[in-house]
Amino acid sequence: MAISLETQEKAKQIILAGLRAQSHGSVLFCDARAEVALNAIDEEFLDIAVIYNGPRDDLNFRLLISLYDEIEPQLSEVGVLQIPSVSYIPKVEYDRMLSKRETARPWDRQG
């Protein structure tokens, strides 16, 4: 299922609104089922990463990458970590997860 142009535009506006808010220092994760994820988004979140946990040759992944490429110059720092579902994670926890992922053995990795 392709991500609609309307959903892509909504995602971009939410990301930019989060950048303007510059307040909570949180990371939003969502997968390519963007219509589900976008219903739960609080525009005050920033440091947003849109994550797709599907195959890299999938149309949804290519659409998300093109959306990211469009807004990337406006982002100071965006981390990418694949997870299976939509969730909000505090920035400090996200940083800890990244650190653990970089040092963990493959069978210890989560998400």
Give the separation between CA 8 and CA 50, rounded to whole angstroms: 11
Name which residue leads in pLDDT, 71 or 35.
71
pLDDT tens per residue across span 36-73: 444 444 433 333 444 444 555 555 555 555 555 555 45
For the chain, report the end-to-end CA distance as a whole number of angstroms.
23
Q: Which residue has the higher pLDDT, 108 or 95?
A: 95
> Any idea what DSSP says for residue 88?
E
Cβ atoms 111, 82 nearer than 8 A: yes
Whether pLDDT at 100 is above 50: yes
